[in-house]
Structure 1
Amino acid sequence: MKLTVSTVKQQVLEVPKPLRVFILRAFLCLLAWNVVHNKLLSANNDLDAFFSSTLAGSTSFLLNIFSMHHVSTSGMENGWITLFFNNSPILNISNACNGLDVTALYIAFICCIPSSTKRMVSYIIPGVVGLFAFNVVRCIILSFLGYHQYSGFEFFHHYVFTTLIYGIILFVWISYLKASFTHETQKA
């Protein structure tokens, strides 16, 4: 089969419209994330620093309420903020682990599925709040694991919490897909 512009166009048009819309939106989300976050904001890391400091501050606040230790945080240094229990460093919250990328991925997927703006917002806002709350709880648990020098700290950090967060996101995405496609089928 000879590859020409008309045959490529014909093959693209054979792809179901919802899938074409999804692919186009996914490409635009990826492009926007790369341009805005990785190019415009990466020079001064404002968004990452905001996410990291908000996460560290929220974690520290809750630990001070529910812990016998005095919890404090350092300023942003070398791309991370350190939590201290009674002036002893206990947990580093790095820009790479602050939840920003997972949050952006969650939002992008919701935006890629053809649906009403109202439905998108009704999943995005609680989802972002839920992801942040999960991340705060994760940091609280990791702080206690680090304080007690639990040998499973790395396992929990890298595997248990990663599996949990992606499992939760997958569950919400499936719920969103079902709601969106049920609504679309009822309209037809």
Structure 2
Amino acid sequence: MLKSPAVRYLGLFLLITVALFSVLATPWAERMFVAPFTRSLVHACAFLIDLFDNRVIADGAILRFNDGKGAVQVLAGCNAVEVCALLSAAIIAFPGKLRYGLIGAAAGIVALQTINLLRIISLLYLSRGSQEVFDFFHHYVWDAMIGLEGLLIFFFWTRWQARREAADRQAKEVAA
């Protein structure tokens, strides 16, 4: 029996992470979820860009300028699905009410994907310039930023969850 809360948390986190990544690694998950989700990200980017710049076309998982000068292809790993899975596992495994964990995971996924939309859009515009600058932002800056955002969301969520749990305890004491 696991006595340490930290060991219990890490064990549950690893279990949820392995389960989520195992599902994501299946061909049916790729076909039924990951690929359609990735295409929807590309189309969402095209929609947002079209509000200001009508030169962009979404073609499956490729976002490109209609003049042929710049494009990005959103592949697995660029859609932030793995970071969302890790964040969800970290939040859901954290001690507390499952309801708060599910709320935190959903809000965290929305926040991560919002930043990921900005990432994809910025990389599209960077693709029109220097390949070295594009590669630097693609492989270093944005990868680090998405990971850092996941950590920040987790830390902010743990603070929110602790305040929520304290408010729930206080409400029970007042009601008693």
TM-score (norm 1): 0.77
- The C-alpha deviation readout for 1:71-114, integer Å capped at 9, x for no partner, is 11223xxxxx2212115151111123111111111101101111
Of the candidates 20, 32, 53, which is equivalent to residue 19 of structure 2?
Answer: 32
Please give the per-residue CA displacement for 1:49-69, whole angstroms capped at 9, x wherever unaligned. Answer: 0221111001111111111x4
Partner of residue 42, structure 2: 56
Query: Partner residue of 1:6?
Result: none
Q: Report how far residue 39 of structure 1 moved.
A: 3.1
Unaligned runs of 5+ in 1: 1-11, 76-80
Aligned residues, how many?
A: 168
- Matched with 1:116 is 97
Are the counterparts in 1 of residues 56 and 66 from structure 2 also a CA contact under 8 Å? yes
Give the Cα separation in 1 of the matches to 2:62 and 2:159: 41
1:12-56 per-residue CA deviation (whole Å, 9 max, x = no partner) reads: 65x41x2232133123213322432223635x5322102211110
- Alignment match, 2:10: 23
- Structure 2 residue ranges without an equivalent (≥5): 170-176
Preserved contact between residue 60 and residue 83 of structure 1 (Cα < 8 Å):
yes
Determine helix, strand or coil for the equivalent of 1:147.
Answer: coil
Report the equivalent of 1:143. 124
Amino acid aligned to 1:116 = K
User: SS in structure 1 opposite 2:57?
Assistant: strand
In 2, Cα distance between equivalents of 1:164 and 1:96: 14
Aligned-partner residue type, residue 81 of structure 2: L
User: 1:161: which partner in 2?
Assistant: 142
TM-score normalised by the chain length of structure 2: 0.81
Structure 1: how far apart are the matches of 2:144 and 2:81? 17
Cα distance change, pair 167–35 in 1 and its aligned pair in 2 (3 A): closer
Calculate the aligned-residue CA RMSD, in Å.
Answer: 2.6
The answer to whether residue 77 in structure 2 is matched with residue 96 in structure 1 is yes
**Deviation of residue 181 (structure 1)?**
5.1
**Structure 2 residue aligned with 1:71:** 56
> Percent sequence identity over matched residues?
25
